[in-house]
Structure formats: structure tokens, C-alpha cells
Amino acid sequence: MSWQLHDMSERPRMLVLVSRFGHCLNDLLYRHGIGALRAEIPAIVSNHPDFADLAASNGIEFRHLPIDESDPAGKDRQETALLQLIDALAIDLVVLARYMQVLSPKVVGRLEGRAINIHHGLLPSFKGAKPYQQAFDRGVKVIGATAHYVTSDLDEGPIISQAVASVDHAAGPERLAAIGRDVECRALARAVEWHLEQRVFLNGAKTVVFSS
């Protein structure tokens, strides 16, 4: 048996990664601001500059780490800088709040058990572009989201939290996407909260979660 002892008075240090969809980032920052997430957020990292002002308004450092798509080594250099930042800031948990980059095995290996991702619950049925349009075209009746630990198997890591919402024929693609954003926020926030409170235990390909 392996075991760990944690001082719950100490706040884990959390790094948030985001691209151009800010709903999950906004939700996490709000929850952090009201004390619902017991963590320190020393920095927000993005491959785009869009949320620099949002980070500043919350008194959090913003790091823009772009990826030079024209350079074959651009992604590797960006991830090296990311890992260096994680080490320099002594990060305990990395949260991918709609960070739209696939992490390389190099990064995934370093972050095993301490990186959480969120994706819409339409996978694997509706892959690729415009998943909510695809869902509308097929007449889905439930919209969901899954928060999970990051592994080398894309979007297939051990599940921590899921959220769903019922929909009907009256909801068009834009309404489905709006509902999807809400459930993504709920599922991710719950997973992050449980992880920070040491309620989640990895058990092979799945997790055991001790809820309150």
C-alpha cells in the first residue's frame, strides 16, 4: 500500500492553461475569488494573448506562450518553456480550461496525476469541427461534459467528474453550445475542487472519488 499525508491548511499551486474559449477560465477565477477553490493561482498560460486583461483584472500573472506553426520545432520549444514555468512556479496542479492543444508525451509524462482536462460530452460520436451542429442535426436529447486526468490517450484519461443537461428539439446549435459551456464549467470546477481537497484517487484507468 502507498499512502500520502497532506496538510489541508496549505493551498496547492494551480496553473491554468487556456486558448480562446474563456468560459471555464472565467468560472474558475470567480470560484477562486469567492474562496470556493482553495488554491493559489500564480499564473495563467495561453498560446494566444486574448485573456491577458482578464488575468490582470484578477491580479494574476499572464504568460503568453505562442506556438510558431511555421517552425517544426515550435511546439517542442513552447512545451519546454511551459515545463520550465511549471517547475519555476512549483505548480501542484495544471488545469486545461479549454486549452486547445494536444500535449506531447513529454509533457503528459511529467504531469501524470496532476493535470485535469475538460471536453464536451458529445465525444466520441461527434468528432471534429462544429460538434454542436452535428448534435443538432442528429437530434440529441442530452448535452454533457467530462473532466478527466490527462493521459497520452487523447480525451480518454481517468474520469473525475461529469455533468449533463437535457435538451429538446427547440434548441438550435447555438443554444446547444451555450448549454454545453455551462456543463463544461460545472464538471471542470467540481473535478478541480475534488482534486484540491484530496478526494480523488487514481485506480488504474478510473478514479475513486470520496464526495462530501
Share of the chain above pLDDT 70, in %: 98
Query: What does the pLDDT look like over 71-88, one tens digit per residue?
Result: 889 999 999 999 999 999
The Cα 36–Cα 31 span in angstroms is: 5
User: Binning pLDDT at 50, 70 and 90, where does residue 39 land?
Assistant: very high
User: Binning pLDDT at 50, 70 and 90, where does residue 122 land?
Assistant: low
The lowest-confidence range among 16-20, 66-70, 158-162 is 66-70
If DSSP states are collapsed to H, E and C, what string results for 105-162?
HHHHHHCCCCEEEEEECCCCCCCCCCHHHHHHHHCCCEEEEEEEECCCCCCCCCEEEE
> Which pLDDT does position 124 carry in this prediction?
58
CATH top-level class for 13-209?
alpha beta
Check pLDDT > 60 for residue 123.
no
Check pLDDT > 90 for residue 155.
no
Domain coordinates of the chain in residue numbers? 13-209
Buried b (16+ CB within 10 A) or exposed e, 29-39: bebbeeeebeb
> Which pLDDT does position 148 carry in this prediction?
96
Is-catalytic flag, 92? no
Check pLDDT > 60 for residue 184.
yes
> Which pLDDT does position 134 carry in this prediction?
87
Please report which helix (H) or strand (E) contains residue 40, including its range. strand 40-46
How many C-alpha atoms does 62 have within 13 Å on its Cβ side?
Answer: 19
Query: What does the pLDDT look like over 9-35, one tens digit per residue?
Result: 789 999 999 999 999 999 999 999 999
* Catalytic site residue from 87, 92, 153, 155: 155
Mean pLDDT to the nearest integer, 93-110: 96
Cell numbers standing for residue 159: 474520469
The Cα 41–Cα 11 span in angstroms is: 10
- Phi–psi pair at 84, nearest 5 degrees: -65, -40
> Which pLDDT does position 98 carry in this prediction?
96
User: Binning pLDDT at 50, 70 and 90, where does residue 212 land?
Assistant: low
> Which pLDDT does position 172 carry in this prediction?
93
Nearest in space to 85 (alpha carbons), one of 58, 104, 111, 109: 111
> Which pLDDT does position 126 carry in this prediction?
77
The Cα 124–Cα 203 span in angstroms is: 23
Mean pLDDT to the nearest integer, 166-181: 92
